[in-house]
């Protein structure tokens, strides 16, 4: 199963528990309680939007190509 934990609405860790084990079997309860189960392609660095959904950070705008004179 796939879990994540976040700080200040930013995903800081993704943890894949081995086999069918749950997060409660992998960490002491004081750490396990910080994780929540996630589905899909959530990655480190994703942020929570105004609807409470996890979204990928915006892709930085590309610099326009430099035109040689």
Partner 1 sequence: MATNNPVTGQFGTGNVQFFGGIVGTASVASTFIVPQGVSSVRVRVWGAGSSGGGAGGFAMKTIYGLVPGASVVVTPGASNTASTTSFASSFGSYVSANGAVNLTGATGVGGDINYTGGTGIANYGAGAPSIYGNGTSADTASSVGASGFSGAGGNTSGGNGLFGIGGFTIASTGAAMPTSGLDPNTLNLDAIGTGGGGFSGVSGVNGGGGANNGHGGFPAGGGGTNTNSRGGAGLVIVEW
Q: Are strands 2-7 and 10-16 parallel, antiparallel or unpaired?
A: antiparallel
Task: Name the site residues for partner 1 (rule: CB under 8 A).
Answer: 7, 12-18, 21, 24-32, 44-45
> Phi and psi of 54, rounded to 5°?
-85, 130
* Integer angstrom CA distances of residue 4 from 12, 15, 20, 34, 65: 8, 6, 16, 8, 38
Q: Which is nearer to partner 1, 19 or 64 (CB)?
A: 19
Q: Which is nearer to partner 1, 18 or 58 (CB)?
A: 18
Q: Which is nearer to partner 1, 18 or 60 (CB)?
A: 18
Q: How far is the CB of 31 from partner 1 (least distance, A)?
A: 5
């Amino acid at each position: 199963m796939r879990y994540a934990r976040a700080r200040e609405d930013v995903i800081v860790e993704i943890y894949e528990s081995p086999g069918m084990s749950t997060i409660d079997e992998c960490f002491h309860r004081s750490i396990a309680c910080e994780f929540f189960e996630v589905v899909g392609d959530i990655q480190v660095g994703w942020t929570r939007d105004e609807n409470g959904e996890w979204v990928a950070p915006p892709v930085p705008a590309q610099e326009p190509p430099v035109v040689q004179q």
